[in-house]
A = this chain, B = another copy of it.
Amino acid sequence: MDITPILSKNALSMRRSQIRDLLSVATRPEIISFAGGFPSPETFPVEDLKKIMQEVLDTEGAAALQYGSTEGVKVLREEISRLYKRDENLDVPVENIMITTASQQALDLVCRIFIDPGDVIVCGLPTYLAALQSVWSYQGQPYGLRHNDGLAEACNVLCATGKRPKFIYSIPDFQNPSGETMTLEERQYVVDVARKYDLVIVEDTPYKNIRFSGETLPSMYSMAPERVIMVGTFSKTFVPGFRLGWIVANHDIIERVIVAKQSSDLCTPVFNQMVAAKYLSSGAYDINLKKTCALYKRKKEVMVNSFEEFMPKGVTWTNPDGGLFLFLRLPEQFDTRELFDLAIKENVAFVIGEAFHSDGSGKNTMRLNFSFASDDKIREGVKRLANAIRKLYEKYGI
Contacts and interface: CB of A to CB of B under 8 A. Distances in A.
Contacts of A312: none
A137 B57 contact: no
B265 A102 contact: yes
A15 B258 CA distance: 11
Contacts of A137: 112, 260, 263
**Stoichiometry (number of copies):** 2
A384 interface: no
A85 to B, nearest CB: 24
Identify whether the interface residues of A are mostly helix, strand, loop, or mixed. Answer: helix
Given A41-B65, A268-B243, A130 B14 contact: no
A101 B10 contact: no
A64 interface: yes
Interface in A227-265: 227, 235, 239-243, 252-253, 256, 259-260, 262-265
A8 B136 CA distance: 14
A57 B65 contact: no
Contacts of A9: 116
Interface string A102-127: 10110010001111100100000000
Contacts of A61: 41, 44, 46, 49
Given A70-B20, A101-B265, A263-B134, A113 B10 contact: yes
A258 to B, nearest CB: 8
Interface string A36-78: 1111010010100110011001100110111110100000000
Contacts of A177: none
A132 to B, nearest CB: 9
Interface residues of A, number: 80
B1 A105 contact: no
A25 interface: no
B38 A67 contact: yes
A137 B109 CA distance: 12
Contacts of A119: 8
A196 to B, nearest CB: 12
B65 A264 contact: no
Interface stretch (A153-161, A269-277, A317-325): A269-277
Contacts of A240: 65-67, 270
Nearest to A133: B263
A16 interface: yes
A6 interface: yes
5 contacts: A4-B252, A15-B259, A38-B66, A46-B57, A104-B266
